[in-house]
Amino acid sequence: QVQLVESGGGLVQTGGSLRLSCTASGRAFSWYFMAWFRQCPGKEREFVTRISRIDGSTRYADAVKGRFTVSRDNAKNTMYLQMNSLKPEDTAVYYCAAGTSPSSIKEGYAYWGEGTQVTVSS
């Protein structure tokens, strides 16, 4: 079992940057594959990026590729999401997720944080 807490959300203008953090407690952080998802009102939760527990390899949704960077620091039990060149369509609640195998769908993750709001103004 693991508990996840996101932080770092806020309001930023188009073209700006923001860094999110996901801090884990409970089982050793390095045990899990980690991912970021996001959800807008009236839409389904969608995949943003994931990072492997084995070799740190990453995958990104096409919508954020080249703009977002995911990383993890196992010693600090923390995963990060650096978001650059933000667009209004990036506005969403961003969720941290943990699972035992790599996946790009929300059903692949058993553990979730409560989310942090990111708002990108025009």
- Over residues 71-103, the pLDDT tens digits come to 999 889 999 999 999 999 999 999 999 999 999
Q: CA 30 from chain center: how many Å?
A: 16
- Over residues 21-52, the pLDDT tens digits come to 999 998 777 889 999 999 998 999 999 999 99
Give the pLDDT mean for 53-76: 94
Helix (H) or strand (E) holding 25: strand 18-26
Residue 9 has pLDDT above 90, yes or no: yes
DSSP string, 44-87: --EEEEEE-SSS--EEE-TTTTTTEEEEEEGGGTEEEEEE-S--
Q: Give the closest residue to 8 by CA, choosing from 72, 19, 57, 46.
A: 19
Q: Are 93 and 39 in contact (CB under 8 A)?
A: yes
Give the pLDDT mean for 114-118: 98
pLDDT at residue number 30? 83
